Amino acid sequence: MADRKAELDRKKKRLEEIRAQRNKNKPSAAASTSTSSPVHSSPKHGADATSGSDIDNLLKGLDLGTTPSASTPKSAPDTQPAGSEVKTTTTSAPTKSVTLSVSHREPVNVAPKELVSYEKGVQVQTIEEKDEPEPEPEIKTEEGNKDETDDKPIKKEETPQVVEMSDEAKQKILQSQNFAQFFDHAARIIEKAICEEDYAFDYGAIKDENEGDTMTSKKLALNRKFFDERWSKHRCVTCMDYSIQYPELLVASYNQNEAAPQDPDGVALVWNNKYNTQTPEYIFHNQSAIMSVCFAQFHPNLLVGGSYSGQIVLWDNRSRKRTPVQKTPLSASAHTHPVYCVEVVGTQNAHNLITFSTDGKMCSWSLDMLSQPQDVIDLQHTHSRYVAVTGASFQPGDVNNFVVGTEDGSVFSAQRHGTNQGLSEQFEGHHGPVTGINYNKVPGPIDFSHLFLTSSFDWTIKLWNNKSTKVLYSFEDNGDYVYDVEWSPKHPALFATVDGMGKLDLWNLNNDTEVPTSSVTVDPMAAINRVKWSGSGLQLAAGDDEGYIYIYDVGEQLALPRPDEWNRLVNTLQELQANQATVGDLERPLSPSSSLQSSLVSPGRI
């Protein structure tokens, strides 16, 4: 309102100034009119009209009531005779009525900016309720159904005609390779389904009272036997190995069957320990007898075998062929004598196949190419003496250092690379060929990877320390050839041995060093050639010279170590070293079977 009032005052002041200016100009306008010519009109007359219109516009913008406007006198021309002068007079303009009204400003409300926010919620579909119920289906009477049935034509079922095959066609299908592969694959699947235990059946209700305590006892319990009448009979088990990727798979290699000269000399069978099947999972064979076999550590589908002829063969279980997919050539650049040890060492990205033979060579191969070895090392003790390797073992976590056992009973430490490449130190103690050699590979708070065991035809098992060439201890409880020895993969002081009398022995150094902790006679009429621990350390596989493989369960109290087993083994080794020093001071050991030596070495008989 204050602004409007100020605007009105300003316009009123302007109006008064215009009126004052107009009144001031009136006398001069009258004088000029009297002296002007009759034809020419005064120019001030137009200015007065303009001033009047400005005043009217100002009054109209004031929105006031009706006010008298400035009037100008009308000029009425007087009629005069011709020749007289025409005089013009100024008259005021007619008063114009201005209607003023009060204007009201309407406030305009501007809506604020809408902020959209979302909250977590559950979106469900809305179901529209039907106002009208659905019409019930009409129930047709029997007559109506009968009428509809009569109208439809009756279709006769066509019975399929059975095509009778001739005997020649049946025999052709049975002899085809595709049918044989299909039948073999389908038979294995059905056999697994039949032998699989029923999860709804209570097998514990039919077990004996003493059978439930087998796993907690310190005894060996026979679980099952693997034998195939076609491929295992009259064949000697030469080597065994468990798969790391598939712990239930066990591969075994077999020697030739002299009673069946038409069959392949070498056979490798893969057995499945998970299912109670009677047939092998895979069957592989070779022209020459297989003396050693192993799973390729970083290739779960590949198996490697060392043959009697010196060839290295490679099988692939993805292939439908039973023959090797790769093999090394028979040449002087590689092995020419029986290969008794094959092992894959290294890492996932850098690994090699290492093979040892009785020709005194160690060859390094790539699994991708077996045409020629990547590296060949001649294992010579002297410049002219080659050693015939019958067994080898790599130190845990080391692909360079290893030990080998030979036919003359000597044990050597060796290296693959470096200045001391080849054989280095000699460990003397056996008086017969070394049949088995194995490093201690049990991880734990104390490292015992420097300990290794050897077995020999001299009826003894010897404990060695690779830092000393002297025998640490000799186990002399066996009465026949000791064919194999292996440390437990879980217990640092436990190892297993097998001999020619069919005995399977378990030795625990922390309990007793004179007699085995547990012993079982597998077959008194057969010689046990090989022994192999499972990855869990709870099972043992023993293979004999008749082609049988026996799976034994080891009691948990015996197989699994207690926390103090590592410290107890340290004390046991210290006692053995002290007894060795005492024996060395008294006299030289006589013979491996000497009772005097046994009484001096054995700490319990001093």
3-state secondary structure of 476: coil
Residues contacting residue 228 through CB under 8 Å, at least 6 positions apart: 269, 278, 279, 280, 547
CA distance 263 to 286: 10
Q: Which two tokens stand for residue 16?
A: 């008064």
End-to-end CA distance of the chain: 129
Q: Which residues pair with 18 in a beta bridge?
A: none
Q: Using the 8-state DSSP alphabet, how is residue 210 labeled?
A: T
Residues in the chain with pLDDT values less than 50: 35-47, 64-91, 209, 212-217, 587, 589-606
Could you please report the per-residue DSSP string of 106-149? PP-PPPPPPPP--------PPPPPPSSPPPPPP---HHHHHHHH
476-487: per-residue pLDDT in tens?
888 899 999 999
Give the CA angle between residues 384, 385, 386 to the nearest 5°: 120
Question: In a 10 Å sphere around its CB, with 0-12 CB exposed, 13-18 middle and 19+ buried, how is residue 316 labelled?
Answer: middle
pLDDT recorded at residue 594: 41
**Residue 306 burial by Cβ neighbours in a 10 Å radius (0-12, 13-18, 19+):** buried
* CB distance 423 to 476 below 8 Å: no
Contact 500, 483 (CB under 8 A): yes
Give the pLDDT confidence score for residue 277 in this predicted structure.
Answer: 80
Q: Which residues contact 295 (CB under 8 A, 6 or more apart)?
A: 241, 242, 243, 244, 245, 249, 251, 302, 303, 304
How many CB atoms neighbour CB 145 within 10 A? 10
* Short-list 11, 12, 29, 15, CA closest to 92: 29
Write out the H or E segment, with its range, that includes residue 48. Answer: helix 44-62
Q: What is the DSSP string of 312-378?
A: EEEEETTSS-SS-SEE----TTS--S-EEEEEEEE-SSSEEEEEEETTSEEEEEBTTB-SS-SEEEE
pLDDT given for residue 276 in this prediction = 80
Q: How many CA atoms lie within 13 A of 440 on its CB side?
A: 23
Measured distance CA(203)–CA(237) in Å, rounded = 33
Q: What percentage of the chain has pLDDT greater than the value 70?
A: 73
Q: What is the pLDDT of residue 338?
A: 92
Instruction: Output the six-digit token pair for 91.
Output: 């008259």
Burial class (CB in 10 A: 0-12, 13-18, 19+), 390: buried
Which residues 6+ apart lie within 8 Å of 330 measured at CB? 309, 310, 311, 336
Asked: is 220-583 a CATH 2.30.30.110 domain? The reply is no
State how far the Cα of 227 lies from the Cα of 233, in Å rounded to an integer.
8
> Which residues does residue 302 pair with via DSSP β-bridges, in sequence order?
316
Residue 156 Cα to chain centre, angstroms = 58
Write down how long the chain is: 606
At 420 the pLDDT is 82
Instruction: Give the separation between CA 428 and CA 140, rounded to whole angstroms.
Output: 103
Identity of the residue numbered 289: A
Contact between 409 and 434 under an 8 Å Cβ cutoff? The reply is yes
Separate counts of helices (H) and strands (E) for the chain: 8, 28
Q: Among residues 380, 265, 273, which one has the least CA distance to residue 311? A: 265
Taking Cα atoms as reference points, which of 447, 446, 476 lies closest to residue 460?
476
pLDDT value at position 74? 43
CB atoms within 10 A of CB 496: 25
- Residue 131 bridge partners (DSSP): none
